[in-house]
């Protein structure tokens, strides 16, 4: 039997629930992986100023990526971070997905949210809703689809990935009655990918949950995130596709309001650790 996969794990913002859920997740039982813990593991005071907290969280992520690029670990797991704190500390990216892309050499990446059989990849991420129609382009859809196909083949072992495209407008535009973006922008991308759609948001995720599709390409953050949270709240994870190594994270935030009370649910973090180990094993 070969060696176990090696994971570098960061706890996230030390003021939040990251250190707590990480400790709880590791205590749930042995993992089929070697774990390297980075960053603060619950020793920093929660009274830490946001800038200092952001610096600790960001530097731990930098160290994890360095280890992965050097071949010293096979995958990384990152705890929840506070985006404003990261910005104050000088890490001025919309989120960790974009930060990781930069650290890996400005590679093209895509954000996947997964809960059980449902995998959703976001064509756009952290932008205002009013900016989504202009940001959803045929080229971006196809790029996300290609990144998704490659990850599903190489990390999940799916030989012929089945993709679906979620529509932007209600009823997929209803033949242009509710907007022409689905037919004008998304349909050509779906054809180029050999994907189904664009299909209305009120049905495509249900069909994916039933096993018809291996992943759904969602045009904007909240339509995809909501589907995953409803399908598996507390068990969903975030996977960054396109990196030269797997990165997995719990799909929740820092929850500063409950940090330190001992009531945070470690389910998503445990799922992230288990999935990272599985993807790392396939990636090696």
pLDDT tens-place string over residues 131-159: 999 999 999 999 999 999 999 999 999 99
Q: How far, in Å, are 4, 25, 256 from residue 14 at the CA level? A: 28, 16, 10
Whole-number average pLDDT of the chain: 94
pLDDT tier for residue 99 given thresholds of 50, 70 and 90? very high
pLDDT at 189 over 90: yes
Q: How far, in Å, are 32, 96, 99, 162, 220 from residue 275 at the CA level? A: 11, 18, 21, 20, 24
In whole angstroms, what is the distance from residue 162 CA to residue 14 CA?
39
Q: What is the pLDDT of residue 86?
A: 96
Q: What is the pLDDT of residue 283?
A: 73
pTM (2 d.p.): 0.92
The angle formed by the CA atoms of residues 164, 96 and 199, to the nearest 5 degrees, is: 15
In whole angstroms, what is the distance from residue 269 CA to residue 255 CA?
14
pLDDT per residue over 59-87, tens digit each? 999 999 999 999 999 999 999 999 999 99
pLDDT at 186 over 80: yes
Count of alpha carbons within 13 angstroms of residue 107, beta-carbon side = 17
Nearest in space to 265 (alpha carbons), one of 7, 1, 10, 20: 20
Q: What is the pLDDT of residue 175?
A: 81
Question: What's the average model confidence in pLDDT over 48-63?
Answer: 96
**Using an 8 Å Cβ cutoff, are 17 and 77 in contact?**
no
Beta partners for residue 34, in sequence order: 6
More confident residue, 1 or 45: 45
Domains, the chain, with CATH or none? 1-107+243-284 (3.40.718.10), 110-241 (3.40.718.10)
pLDDT at 1 over 70: no
**Using an 8 Å Cβ cutoff, are 186 and 165 in contact?**
yes
High-pLDDT (> 70) share of the chain, %: 99
In whole angstroms, what is the distance from residue 20 CA to residue 137 CA?
40
pLDDT per residue over 241-260, tens digit each? 999 999 999 999 999 999 99
Question: What's the average model confidence in pLDDT over 208-212?
Answer: 96
> In angstroms, how far is CA 5 from the centroid of its own chain?
20
Q: What is the pLDDT of residue 67?
A: 98
Question: What's the average model confidence in pLDDT over 116-142?
Answer: 94
Q: What is the pLDDT of residue 232?
A: 85
Q: What is the pLDDT of residue 253?
A: 93
SS3 258: coil
Q: How far, in Å, are 125, 238, 278 from residue 71 at the CA level? A: 29, 22, 17
Torsion of CA 105, 126, 196, 118, to 10 degrees: 90
pLDDT at 43 over 80: yes
Q: CA 204, 207, 212, 215 torsion: positive or negative?
A: positive
């Amino acid at each position: 039997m070969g060696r176990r996969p090696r994971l570098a794990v960061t706890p996230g913002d030390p003021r939040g629930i990251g250190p707590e859920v990480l400790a709880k997740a590791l205590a749930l039982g042995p993992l089929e992986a070697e774990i390297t813990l980075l960053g603060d593991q619950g020793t920093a005071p929660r009274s830490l100023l946001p800038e200092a907290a952001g610096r600790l969280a960001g530097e731990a992520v930098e160290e994890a990526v360095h280890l992965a690029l050097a071949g010293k670990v096979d995958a990384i797991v990152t705890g929840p971070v506070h985006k404003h704190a990261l910005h104050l500390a000088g890490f001025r990216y919309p989120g960790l997905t974009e930060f990781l892309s930069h650290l890996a050499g400005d590679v093209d990446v895509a954000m996947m949210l997964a809960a059980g059989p449902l995998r959703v990849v976001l064509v756009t991420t952290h932008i205002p809703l009013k900016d989504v129609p202009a940001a959803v382009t045929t080229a971006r859809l196809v790029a996300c689809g290609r990144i998704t196909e490659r990850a599903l083949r190489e990390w999940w072992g799916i030989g012929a990935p089945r993709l679906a495209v979620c529509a932007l407008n209600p009823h997929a535009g209803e033949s242009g009655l509710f907007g022409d973006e689905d037919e004008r922008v998304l349909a050509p991308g779906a054809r180029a990918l050999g994907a189904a759609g664009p299909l209305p948001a009120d049905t495509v995720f249900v069909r994916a949950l039933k096993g018809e599709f291996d992943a759904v390409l969602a045009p904007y953050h909240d339509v995809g995130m909501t589907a995953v949270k409803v399908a598996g709240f507390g068990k969903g994870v975030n996977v960054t596709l396109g990196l030269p190594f797997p990165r997995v994270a719990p799909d929740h935030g820092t929850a500063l309001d409950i940090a330190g009370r001992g009531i945070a649910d470690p389910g998503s973090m445990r799922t992230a650790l288990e999935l990272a180990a599985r993807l790392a094993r396939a990636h090696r």
